[in-house]
Amino acid sequence: MNRYMLFLIARRAGAGILTLLIVSAVVFFITSLLPGDAAQMILGQNATPETVAALRQQLGLDQPLLVRYFTWLTGMLQGDFGTSFASHLPVLQLVEQRIPATLELAGITTVICVPLALIIGIVAAMNRGSALDRFLVISTMATVAVPEFLVATVAVLIFAVKLHWVSAMSFGSPDMDVISYLKAYALPVLTLCCVLVAQMARMTRSAIINQLDSPYLEMALLKGVSPLRAVLRHALPNAVGPIANAISLSLSYLFGGVIIIESIFSYPGLASALVDAVSNRDLPVVQLCVMLFAACYLVLLLAADILTIAFNPKWRS
Amino acid sequence: MNTLLLPVRLFQSLSLSGRIGLLISLFWLLMALFGTQLAPHNVEDIGGGPMLGGMTSANVLGTDYLGRDILSRILYGAKFSIGLALTAALCASIIGTLLALLAAVAGRWLEELLGRVNDALLVLPGKVLSLMIVAVFGSSLPMLILTAIFTYWPGAFRIAFAMASSLRNMDYVRASRLRGESRWYVAIHDILPNMVHPMLTDFGLRFVYIVLLLSGLSFLGLGVQPPYADWGTLVRENLQGLFNGSPAVLMPAVAIASLTIGANLFIDSLQQMRPLTLAKEGA
């Protein structure tokens, strides 16, 4: 890491923060389009106009939109995320314990998916046109097109209903032993992995194939390097950038997929909090959840950028 | 005559998987148009069969949690699943393309603004963004279409803008600018025709995404609301039958999967075809 690389990374981080700021503006302005408004929403249909007006003033809804945006934004920066419409508790308190749960699910999925996808992608790239390669192409197309809830319901049907290997829908007890922990997580993780592995493996494959087609690799093969060594030692370091990007893109899919998976398996995570808040039209919770999803995605993109920069020899000296 | 033969030539130029995909897509399109007439039972016929019944000769695909015929419900649902998605995908592609053209020929300032907003919207996963819009505006049918459009125009914009911004630097476009043509002339006559083919493929992909998005929303209970039902709603309603292996859960999900896989196969085969094959063979 030299100064120039740090500068590049800082610039990417700055761009990320700017994007997050625009996201916050989009989120705020869309949610402020609520027909009627929050005061009416909290008090319900039977409220008198006077009480609605009083609450409106208390919430600051009588102020112009831009002023409210900046109040909201500075509040968020100081860790004040507002009060839930539905339960009148601070939003942070409601969402707080959901975050680690979702990160845990995403973390386990990532730890399983990434190595698996890398291995499949590399093997497929080395055996281009083979049965494995074609299977990968077809299964990617199929899994991208199939709704997550089909994969999840089929998995429940096979593993929980027919085979009785795992019990569907069992979360909650904090002191689970290892076996029941594995059983509880097996189906959600399996379902998420299905799609992720196929996507990541396909992009890994194309990144490596790009390198395999280049003259320097032909040179390496001609001088007698074994195919495996050529891929691992010569092609892979050059493909790190595209692969890191592919992985961060696929992982961002994880955030969409996790919404369906969490509600099928009634997993107490951030995404199910978002779905519940949407059904209750609890906008402060929705705002915070959406911002958290956006922030996670930007962190992933930044991580991929840092890897790309770190592995580019052009900037090392 | 050549124009009449064009569909045949298109079909012949596709790969085997592309042909299968095209046939599946056409089949569902016909079902969306005429499915309600073909349905063997009345969809409102509550208690017409056993609850969550299996496949019998009377109810070919079984019955749902209220004893209604699943095949008929799927045929009725096709109208919603496909109609909504098709409308939304069409609007999203058109809006994305037009805004991209606007950004490409208008000044630097507008280009920057549209690009930034677009980047910000792309950061939000589609489901998250659409859930937020549903939270604000609810899920009536027109709002669902608007939600899907708003969620998926940024993707179309990005692809269209990438093409438009490389096309606007081509020599023939510069020549036409130098000739004194207006910005709109350049956008519509010089840039747009070269974007149509890739944008049509992109439209197909967008359709697939939107089918998945809307059925996902319905599955969460936030999409199409009763008394209407699209395929996602059908899966949700009958989820209790999952533990008995009832076809009422699986069949609507299989319908979605067959539509999206079929459309994907067709698009994939189109993408692999050289863009000019059609024109050359037709000439």
CATH number for the domain spanning B164: value is 1.10.3720.10
The tens digit of pLDDT for each residue in B122-160 reads: 888 888 889 999 988 888 899 999 999 999 999 899 899
Q: What is the C-alpha end-to-end distance of chain B, expressed in Å?
A: 11
Q: What is the C-alpha end-to-end distance of chain A, expressed in Å?
A: 9
| Contact check, Cβ <8 Å, A153/B263 | no
CB of A298 within 8 Å of a chain B CB? The answer is yes
Q: Which two tokens stand for residue A226?
A: 């074994």
Read off the pLDDT band of B86 (50, 70, 90). Answer: very high
Candidate from A252, A278, A298 with C-beta closest to B125: A252
CB of A40 within 8 Å of a chain B CB? The answer is no
To the nearest whole number, what is the mean pLDDT of chain B? 84
Report the distance separating Cα B195 and Cα B167, nearest Å: 9
| Contact check, Cβ <8 Å, B128/A293 | yes
Of residues B93 and A263, more confidence is placed in: B93
CB of A161 within 8 Å of a chain B CB? The answer is yes
Interface of A with B in 188-247 (CB under 8 A): none
Residues with Cβ within 8 Å of residue A296, at least 6 apart in sequence: A255
CB of B10 within 8 Å of a chain A CB? The answer is no
* Average confidence (pLDDT) over B228-244: 84
* Average confidence (pLDDT) over A172-197: 74
Candidate from A30, A142, A157 with C-beta closest to B132: A30
Indicate whether B48 belongs to any domain: no
Candidate from B219, B250, B260 with C-beta closest to A146: B260
CB of B20 within 8 Å of a chain A CB? The answer is no
Q: Which two tokens stand for residue B118?
A: 């677009």
Indicate whether B6 belongs to any domain: no
**Owning domain of residue B190:** 12-40+63-275
The tens digit of pLDDT for each residue in A207-229 reads: 888 888 888 888 888 998 888 88
Indicate whether B47 belongs to any domain: no
Indicate whether B56 belongs to any domain: no
Q: Are A168 and A160 in contact (CB under 8 A)?
A: yes
The tens digit of pLDDT for each residue in B168-198 reads: 888 998 899 899 888 888 888 888 988 888 8
- Give the H or E element holding residue A125: helix A98-126
Indicate whether B2 belongs to any domain: no
Read off the pLDDT band of B278 (50, 70, 90). Answer: very low
Confidence check: pLDDT of A239 > 80: yes
CB of B147 within 8 Å of a chain A CB? The answer is no
**ipTM of the prediction:** 0.82
Q: At what angle do helices A98-126 and A236-264 cross, to 10 degrees?
A: 140
Report the distance separating Cα B113 and Cα B124, nearest Å: 18
| Contact check, Cβ <8 Å, B132/A27 | yes
| Contact check, Cβ <8 Å, A150/B257 | yes
Report the distance separating Cα A288 and Cα A294, nearest Å: 10
Confidence check: pLDDT of A123 > 70: yes
Q: How many domains does chain B have?
A: 1
Residues paired with residue B69 on neighbouring β-strands, in sequence order: B63
| Contact check, Cβ <8 Å, B257/A147 | yes
Ranges assigned E (strand) in chain B: none
Indicate whether B4 belongs to any domain: no
CB of B242 within 8 Å of a chain A CB? The answer is yes
φ and ψ at A43, to 5 degrees?
-85, -20
Indicate whether B7 belongs to any domain: no
CB of A275 within 8 Å of a chain B CB? The answer is yes
Instruction: Establish whether the linkage from the previous residue to B227 is cis, with ω within 30° of 0.
Output: yes
Indicate whether B281 belongs to any domain: no
Cα–Cα distances (Å) from B272 to A140, B13, B201, B267, in that order, read 16, 11, 11, 9
Read off the pLDDT band of B24 (50, 70, 90). Answer: very high
